[in-house]
Amino acid sequence: MTDLNSPELQLVRFRRRVYFAGALVLVCFALLFSRFFWLQVVRHDYYATRAEDNRIALLPVSPNRGLIIDRNGEVLARNYSAYTLEIQPSRVADLEATIDELAQLVNIEARDRKRFRKLMDESRNFDSLPIRTRLTDEEVARFIAQRYRFPGVEVRARLFRQYPNTELASHVLGYMGRINRRDAERIEEAGVADNYRGTDHIGKSGLELSYENDLHGVTGFEQVEVTAAGRAVRVLSRTSPQNGNNLRLTLDAGLQRVVEQAFGERRGALVAIEPSSGGVLALVSKPTFDPNLFVDGIDSANWEALNTSADHPLLNRAIYSAYPPGSTFKPFMALGALTAGKRTPQFAIVDPGHFDFGGHRFRDDKVGGHGSVDMHKSIVVSCNTYYYRLAADWGIDGIAGFMAQMGLGSRTGIDIEGEATGVLPSPEWKKKRFKRPEQQKWYAGETISVGIGQGYNAYTMLQMAHAVSILAADGVVYKPHLVKQVENVRTGAVREIEPQPTRRVNLKPEHIAVIKQAMEDVNKAGTGARAFAGAPYVAAGKTGTAQAFSLRGAQYRGGKLAEKLRDHALFIAYAPADDPKIALAVIVENAGFGAQSAAPIARQVFDYYLLGNTPAGPAPEDVDATDSE
């Protein structure tokens, strides 16, 4: 019988254990060696790159946004640097508690919290979002001393957009805002996402939006060595950003300031154009707004005030709102009639104060009429009856065809977003506009109203100013534009926006001369004479009054109507008459006659632009003026 405790058997068992343990150790070492070989040899390049990436951070360097400057060098939009307290929500465990603790170090108000929550709703949760902007040096110092307590919270130096003249030209400049989801999607679709790394703001409207690609610039990058905790140690290399291009405008900031002041508290719009180039000298929509409110993300109180205001300050009335042109339509009607051979300058009618057509009586503003009226007098005294009859004789197709050549009822192509088409009425337009067959039919009586600038007629002040500039330039058409030059600040290269005629309206010089002489006499002895009394230059113009609602045959009594129901006051003009330097169209909403409210504004504009006279205050209303003799 074998002895289980014999030394020989125990030795055998021990050797077996040693062999097994040795084999196990060898296998383990073999596995470790193979793994090390895989990591160090086969995957060396991959893991070396990963290690380098952990050591080196690639940080975007945002470029300075380009400046916006008026034609004389006045800065309208610039940048400034300020400290911002920012939170990266994805790295913060308890966001509300963190904000409460931060509020003990820096001043965080209720509106800051509301704005932060709004930004969170619009942004990705891993974005760095500002809880406070424009920190003082003392606030920065207090936070830095306690920084270790707030992972995911940083103080950063940021560039902010600033509009030093606050509300001046706000509808032209537009405004900046933080990039939201919709902006991010648009950037991705355009394939420029890399160029917006580290950029928080983007143009939202006006020139800031239209010229975003020029103004933004090219983002640079820094290679920064960091610790395992993410702290920067040193900058290894730097690719400098390319700052955005500067925009030099055709706009005259001084003239823009005069126009905005001339309106006072009244609503309306004015567009002034240089006839020889199409450059926009002033583009005003009243009331205005302060674009600085939007830079940090507008707070709910200001947003509510802007959106609920009955005056709609965010609405760009100059390029978006379309109005009946009223009697300012008459010079173009007369010019078109001459061109089409429907009238001669000598053709005259006897005006009884009304025009009967289709069983309906269309009345003139002057009871009893103007007597014998030829084309010249029809413009000077603004005789409706003359144009009722002209419209009936000419027909809607002829009217629409000529007015389209003058740029009415179509976008001018100006270089900011939001331009409306307006309405140039025609049978084709009506078929597209209405759905029911009985609504689509064009009635001859509708043509009569079109002839005096009423009915379906509706044009923007930009379109009206464009039409006046075409007349002033003897039929040469330039595309209206706001930007004169784009300057590359890095190279100094300047890209000129050359004024090139886009086309020419086929007008006879003798026909143009008839209309121009009549418009000059409007301001000498006609409906604009009171506004331009004593002017040392000759201005050509035409007053107009447009109904805000249908009178349905009743007599207009402005003083007894609610303010929103009163007529709009309009005026078109250019000056000097012998060598036009400026052409304009102006409307004052619900202000009565054009001679009463709109023409005085035009007088201030011309006095400033041609003579350098700066008015002391808003243009006064001429309460005794009318749009008929």
SS3 103: coil
Angle at 464 between CA 462 and CA 469, to 5 degrees: 90
357 forms beta bridges with 360
HSE, CB side, 13 Å, CA atoms: give it for residue 310.
Answer: 4
- Residue labelled with tokens 């113009």: 541
Query: Cα–Cα distance between 268 and 594 in angstroms, integer?
Result: 12
Respond yes or no on whether the N-terminal peptide bond of residue 576 is cis (omega within 30° of 0).
yes
Give the amino acid at 627.
Answer: D
Number of Cβ within a 10 Å radius of residue 44: 11
The total of other beta-carbon atoms located within 10 Å of residue 434's CB is 12
Residues recognised as catalytic: 327
Task: Say how many CA atoms lie within 13 Å of 97 toward its Cβ.
Answer: 6
H helix count then E strand count, the chain: 21, 23
Long-range contacts of 498-505 (CB under 8 A, 24+ apart): 499/276, 499/277, 499/278, 499/279, 501/476, 501/477, 502/477, 502/478, 503/477, 504/475, 504/476, 504/477, 505/405, 505/406, 505/470, 505/475, 505/477
Which single residue is written with the structure tokens 């349905």?
552
Read off the tokens for 403. 């007015």
d(C-alpha 533, C-alpha 543), whole Å: 15
Structure tokens at 302: 């200001």
Q: Going by DSSP bridges, is the β-strand pair 483-487/246-249 parallel, antiparallel, or unpaired?
A: antiparallel
Amino acid in position 330: K
Instruction: Give the tokens for residue 110.
Output: 């209720």
